[in-house]
């Protein structure tokens, strides 16, 4: 199924985005498991998904843990992109993010992050079709916690739910939006047919416009051009956009 939507920005170097989305006509199904007392926003689909620690983006709880077991179709590997990781770096023994190949006792570690910036721009690929994500927290004073997205390895152009139009300088580009981008903390400004402000998360704008599925994700093609002085508010597909003025970018 094809669908298109226009997303807008302001004038001085700002842009309108036209998103053309090809939504997979496959039924989403839940992946194997999530367990622990530190799990937040979670959508685990068989083709893609997104997950967050409890409380994100405010503050994650102390002395908590969450494990997510992700699976995609046999024959594929998994790509993971970390959108945000903000944790206490004082004790790497009790506060960390770990990714493993496989599930259960036979799983093997892919990578471990203890805060810092090493995770930025990293694309993590599994060896097989199963990955375990483990987020552990010890005592801490502040920190947003974790948000990440994943998909099958065929979608090398994966972006996360947090990336906005203003994060891209290209006049035209195509990206894959994962499942799970309908969050309660993203803010979209604008509506169709006039477009969305460049401060809007691209994938959430796509959900608002009805061209990205929260359970399946979808491929978007983005074209940047001149925006408008004011963006209207509307409710669509369980997303309420907010009014917005001309983008300063």
DSSP 108-133: EEEEEE-SSSTTTT-EEE-SSSEEEE
* pLDDT, tens digit, 9 for 90 and up, residues 152-201: 999 999 999 999 999 998 989 999 999 999 998 999 999 988 889 999 99
Answer yes or no: are the C-beta atoms of 49 and 150 closer than 8 Å: yes
SS3 202: helix
> Rounded mean pLDDT of the chain?
86
pLDDT value for 7 = 52
Can you give the pTM of this predicted structure? 0.85
> Has residue 119 got a pLDDT over 70?
yes
């Amino acid at each position: 199924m094809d669908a298109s939507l226009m997303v807008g920005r302001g004038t001085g170097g700002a842009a309108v985005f036209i998103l053309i989305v090809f939504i997979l006509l496959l039924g989403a199904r839940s992946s194997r498991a999530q367990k622990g007392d530190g799990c937040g926003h979670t959508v685990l689909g068989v083709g893609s998904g997104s997950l967050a620690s409890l409380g994100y983006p405010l503050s994650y709880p102390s002395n908590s843990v969450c494990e997510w077991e992700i699976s995609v179709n046999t024959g594929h590997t998994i790509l993971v992109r970390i959108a945000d990781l903000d944790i206490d770096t004082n004790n790497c023994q009790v506060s960390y993010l770990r990714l493993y190949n496989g599930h259960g006792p036979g799983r093997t570690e892919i990578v471990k992050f203890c805060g810092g910036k090493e995770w930025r721009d990293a694309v993590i690929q599994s060896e097989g079709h199963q990955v375990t994500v483990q987020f552990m927290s010890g005592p801490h004073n502040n920190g947003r916690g974790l948000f990440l997205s994943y998909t099958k390895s065929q979608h090398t152009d994966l972006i996360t739910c947090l990336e906005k139009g203003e994060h891209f300088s290209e006049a035209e580009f195509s990206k894959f939006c994962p499942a799970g981008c309908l969050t309660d903390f993203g803010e979209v400004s604008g509506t169709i047919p006039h477009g969305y402000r460049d401060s809007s998360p691209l994938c959430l704008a796509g959900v608002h416009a009805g061209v990205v599925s929260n359970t399946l994700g979808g491929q978007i093609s983005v074209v940047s051009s001149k925006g408008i002085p004011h963006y209207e508010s509307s409710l669509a597909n369980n997303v309420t956009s907010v009014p917005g003025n001309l983008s300063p970018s």
